[in-house]
Structure 1
Amino acid sequence: MNINKNNFTNFNKIVIGVMLTPILVVNSYAETLRNRTLLPEVWAPNLIWDGGNNPHFNKWQPVGSADPTAKVFNGTLYVYTSTDSKELCQIRSDKLQKHAYAPWANTGFCMPGYQVFSSADASLNQSTWQKHGLVLRQKDVPWARKSAEGWGNSATMWAADVVEGDDGKYYMFFPSVRGDNNHQTIGVAVADSPAGPFVARPAPIATTNNFDHVFDPSVIKVGNQWYIFYAKNGSGGNKAIWAAKIDANFNYIYNPLDLMLEPGSYLEGPHAYMIGNDLWLQWASVTAPAQWPYPGGYQIKQAVAWNNNNPLSNFDQRGIMVHPFGNPGTNHGSVVSWENNYWAFYHDHLNGKNSGYTPTAPNQIHNYRRAMYSLVEIDASKRGEVKPFRPDNIVNQPSLSN
């Protein structure tokens, strides 16, 4: 084949043009990147297994953290997380019988209680966190389902929230499965200190009927009224975010309302918080786009109350706050003001319930869901919106750079 100089030059232009085309394409995932810091790792048996006294649990295991709710009490930042250890559901007894955590034993979620971390460090360096251990266990909740092993055969102590009540005591709101009808509901536990331990009340929160098929509570006081946000079936037949008034003693709810945030989409993990005079709400959504290199999955969205603080009214949806990373993305978290900065807490979902808990990414250094946090910016021109970001590098000291 004869190729003259002009043809060869044109051929080079075509080849080079093809090679450069991907570099010139605008990246649709060019969101702001933020580094992230992991909450400290926790190991059992000292936390989960009563100091190793149970003969079925005779070795140390890493225990994950998930669903981080960050709150400031008395000049200290506290973070409340659910436990998350698939090993709890996999360990067999000396009779080689798997522990019964039905009906979720096969999903990989095994969450028998809540743990607390605290820090007084303004910069939240990873090394400054204090671990307070397990402060409420499902086995100690009077109305929750129990098992012969004593751990509650559903292990469904999912996302919790903590507030300081009008009486100066600390109230934890948590979901679990009822022992009488096997329905998931929300209960309350009380403590004298934000670090616990918390003692569960004998019965869950009530309405005119049972407050059932609900989970992921978030409680906030607006003016003189307390409100609770939670996940429940809503319009479109999928999980939705609801809000209701709750009495000051946290015994019952009234005026429940589906907020209609994303009708038909699967939503969970609501968290309500204030930025200045504005009431904000975030939640986890599974409407993330499935596109390389960030597969679809969970993402955290945010909205602000239209009329400046009526939780039982429409919300002005602002869109994504934490973009997904990994597969299937980013889930349940919270936002908190701490030492003149704002921080977003969340957990990864790299090791979803069907992944076998096997590391699949270069920066994935753990084999269970783990709580983490990033320093974030607030957009004053948008009533205090948290500027969207995508979690990136793992560091010991968070900063606004990446």
Structure 2
Amino acid sequence: MRPARTVVLALTATLVVAGCGGGPTDQEQDVAFRNPVYDGNLPDPFVLRADGAWYAYGTQGRLGTMPVLRSDDLVTWEVVGDGMPTLAPWTAAGRHWAPEVVALGGRYLAYYTAMERETQQQCIGVAVADDPAGPFVDDAAVPLVCEHDEGGSIDASPFVDVDGTPSLLWKNDGNHVGVRSWIRVQRLGDDGLTLVGDGPVDLVTHDQPWEGHLVEGPTVLVRDGRYHLLYSANDYGSADYGVGWAVADALTGPWSKPSEEPLMRSSAEAAGPGHGTVVTTPGGDWYVHHAWPPDAVGAAYPGRQMWLTPLTWTAQGEPVLDGPTTVVDRLP
């Protein structure tokens, strides 16, 4: 992982003051923020609303095994530290990826990817904490999910349905061993610590040209009774990485991809956007994801930084990601 850098606040604001002749009131503001909102290395960012604040988690780096940041507004971030300083018994040091956190049963559960000590494959574990900043503890002897015959398992994403049922999405790491990768889902027990019911259900795979040889990084939301899956595809280290969209009437599908083009791809301002999550604020929906400066190479490469891209919806209920763009003309 590239070393993280310090937070740089890049927020501009202009207050429109009331004037004569029926001009704008002093409540009207023209406020914008500038991406990236965190310019250090924070790949695969996930953001959780908890205890009146926003918490961001990311792939292992200079900040520790499970980097944790905190913000009051999604724009200004401070480093909290390492949310998982003690490794699980089944893991080996290094390659701790993409944690996502959910509140269940009065506790916080972090689903994360790590290298299994015995097999050297990437597998999924779950760690528990009483505070969203951690410390998260996983004392299990074996991972929660590890599909050894399909390259391992990565990119876990917890989802709590409208009826309160928890499930877990993930990807088999098929491209790691030359087999097909799928985004899958299986129900979780009420405590979030076990998988229950029948085996996982395959949702989507890489069947469009832009997706290359993999799909990964799933996140699901429900809007107007339909299930929307945002996922990433192609090579995370290249400008071909992007964000796709699928839709279904039930979590287990069947899922369809209405477009053969990605929902978001690299722009002149940011390369490789993807592996994010959706957050909802009073100002609307946002997709929190990573990207990096397209012209940054070698020592100038800052790593995969955290960006906010507005997520809007058409009259037909289709998502739109206008980005990634550096300056966004409204606050989250």
CA distance in 2, matches of 1:260, 1:229: 11
Query: Does the CA-based 8 Å contact 1:163-1:171 persist in structure 2?
Result: yes
CA distance in 1, matches of 2:72, 2:143: 33
Q: State which of 141, 149, 173 in structure 2 corresponds to 1:203.
A: 141
Query: Does the CA-based 8 Å contact 2:146-2:152 persist in structure 1?
Result: no
Shift of 1:163: 0.3
Query: Does the CA-based 8 Å contact 1:375-1:400 persist in structure 2?
Result: no
> What CA deviation, in whole Å up to 9, does each residue of 1:258-291 have, x standing for no partner?
2134337411111122335432211111299xxx
SS in 2 for 1:144: coil
Q: Which amino acid aligns with 1:119?
A: S
Report % sequence identity: 22
Counterpart for residue 163 of structure 1: 102
Confirm whether residue 387 of structure 1 aligns to residue 325 of structure 2.
Answer: no
Counterpart for residue 329 of structure 2: 399
Counterpart for residue 256 of structure 1: 200
CA distance in 1, matches of 2:165, 2:124: 19
Unaligned regions of 5+ residues in structure 1, if any?
Answer: 1-33, 43-63, 86-110, 146-151, 289-294, 360-365
Confirm whether residue 117 of structure 1 aligns to residue 69 of structure 2.
Answer: yes
Q: 1:136 to 1:340 in 2, by over 3 A?
A: same
Structure-to-structure mapping, 1:2-401, within 5 angstroms? 37-41=35-39, 64-84=41-61, 113-121=65-73, 124=74, 126=75, 128-137=76-85, 140-145=87-92, 152=93, 155-165=94-104, 167-206=105-144, 213-222=152-161, 223-233=163-173, 237-253=179-195, 254-263=198-207, 265-286=213-234, 296-305=239-248, 307=249, 310-319=250-259, 320-325=262-267, 329-349=272-292, 357-359=298-300, 367-379=302-314, 381-383=315-317, 385-393=318-326, 395=327, 398-399=328-329
Q: 1:201 to 1:229 in 2, by over 3 A?
A: same
> TM-score, normalised on structure 2?
0.74
CA distance in 1, matches of 2:113, 2:325: 31
> What CA deviation, in whole Å up to 9, does each residue of 1:94-128 have, x standing for no partner?
xxxxxxxxxxxxxxxxx95112222223xx4x3x3
CA distance in 2, matches of 1:336, 1:201: 30
CA distance in 1, matches of 2:239, 2:82: 33
Equivalent pairs counted in the alignment come to: 286
CA distance in 2, matches of 1:207, 1:83: 19
CA distance in 1, matches of 2:243, 2:50: 25
SS in 2 for 1:312: coil
Answer 1 or 2: which has greater helix percent: 1
> TM-score, normalised on structure 1?
0.62
Query: Does the CA-based 8 Å contact 1:351-1:358 persist in structure 2?
Result: no
